[in-house]
């Protein structure tokens, strides 16, 4: 659950896969087909001659360099900036605010995510069924959603785990006065066979 554009992620992966596949196919043909090797050699020679002509026809003032190198450098910097922006966005989506509502014409109510996270952490920590628990808040479709991840002890029933967590969530909803959407993730334990179970509330 994050604000990453999944369609963009898939498009990038798809295009990257196609490029790698095309490069692999070209390398395979160059290694096995003599005609492809000859054609590739003529194409590279022609491309090199064309590039040299462009560079000589576009001098940068009185220097021996071409202003096309400046354009290429600017394009590379733009691509690097876009890639860095794309990478830094991955995994984000955590929200600091659980509830933000304009309750009156003179003010609004804000409840930090830490309030719910600490309350649930304390409530779940009292139960010996859990080895560990982790609560985090995400922003999904402009709405705060809690993610509760618990690791159970060996022999713990998933039904008991769900009941305990739902009881804690019900108490939290009563405390806050509004129901909070929650994703429950269960892992570990003998009866759950160290697998992961997700439940949306």
Mean pLDDT of 40-53: 86
The boundaries of the domain holding residue 192 are 97-200
Contacting residues for 157 by C-beta, under 8 A, at least 6 apart: 191
Q: Please, which pLDDT band fits residue 194 given cuts at 50, 70 and 90? A: very low
pLDDT tens for each residue of 117-154: 888 888 988 888 888 888 888 877 777 888 888 888 88
Asked whether residue 1 is domain-assigned, the answer is no
Domain stops at, among 89, 107, 129? 89
* Torsion over CA: 149, 153, 158, 161 (sign): negative
Indicate whether 84 and 121 sit together in one domain. Answer: no
Number of domains present in the structure of the chain = 2
Sign of the four-CA dihedral 40, 43, 49, 55:
negative
**Do residues 162 and 184 touch, judged by C-beta distance below 8 A?**
yes
Of the residues 89, 111, 133, the one at which a domain ends = 89
pLDDT at residue 21 in the model: 93
Q: Are residues 53 and 121 in the same domain?
A: no
- The answer on 49 and 102 residing in a single domain is no
65 and 104 housed in the same domain: no
pLDDT tens-digit map of 82-119: 888 777 665 555 667 777 776 666 777 777 888 888 88
Helix axes 34-57, 68-89, angle to 10 degrees: 110
152, 164 in Cβ contact below 8 A? no
Summarize pLDDT for 164-181 with one digit per residue, the tens: 999 999 998 888 888 888
Whether residue 145 is found in the same domain as residue 102: yes
Is residue 194 a part of any domain in this protein? yes
Nearest one of 41, 139, 45 to 95, comparing CA atoms: 139
Decide if 22 is inside a domain.
Answer: yes
Q: Looking at the structure, tell me whether residues 105 and 80 fall in a common domain.
A: no
Quote the strand ranges of the chain, DSSP E. Answer: 97-104, 107-112, 130-140, 143-152, 182-188, 196-200
User: DSSP readout, 61-118?
Assistant: TTSSSBTHHHHHHHHHHHHHHHHHHHHHHTT--B-SEEEEEEEETTEEEEEEHHHHHH
CB 46 within 8 A of CB 34: no
CATH number, domain with residue 137? 3.30.70.1350
Domain's final residue, options 89, 124, 145: 89
């Amino acid at each position: 659950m994050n604000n990453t554009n999944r369609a963009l992620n898939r498009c990038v992966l798809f295009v990257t896969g196609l490029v790698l596949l095309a490069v692999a196919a070209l390398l395979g043909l160059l290694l096995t087909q003599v005609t492809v090797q000859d054609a590739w050699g003529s194409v590279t020679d022609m491309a090199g001659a064309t590039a040299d002509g462009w560079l000589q026809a576009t001098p940068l003032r009185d220097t021996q360099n071409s202003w096309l190198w400046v354009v290429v450098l600017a394009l590379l910097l733009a691509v690097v900036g876009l890639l860095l922006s794309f990478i830094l966005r991955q995994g984000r989506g955590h929200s600091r605010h659980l509830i933000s509502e304009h309750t009156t014409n003179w003010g609004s109510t804000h409840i930090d995510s830490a309030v719910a996270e600490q309350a649930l952490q304390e409530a779940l920590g009292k139960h010996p069924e859990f080895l560990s628990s982790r609560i985090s808040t995400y922003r999904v479709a402009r709405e705060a959603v809690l993610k509760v991840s618990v690791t159970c002890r060996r022999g713990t029933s998933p039904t008991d785990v769900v009941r305990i967590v739902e009881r804690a969530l019900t108490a939290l909803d009563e405390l806050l006065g509004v129901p909070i959407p929650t994703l429950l993730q269960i892992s570990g334990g003998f009866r759950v066979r160290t697998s992961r179970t997700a439940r949306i509330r």
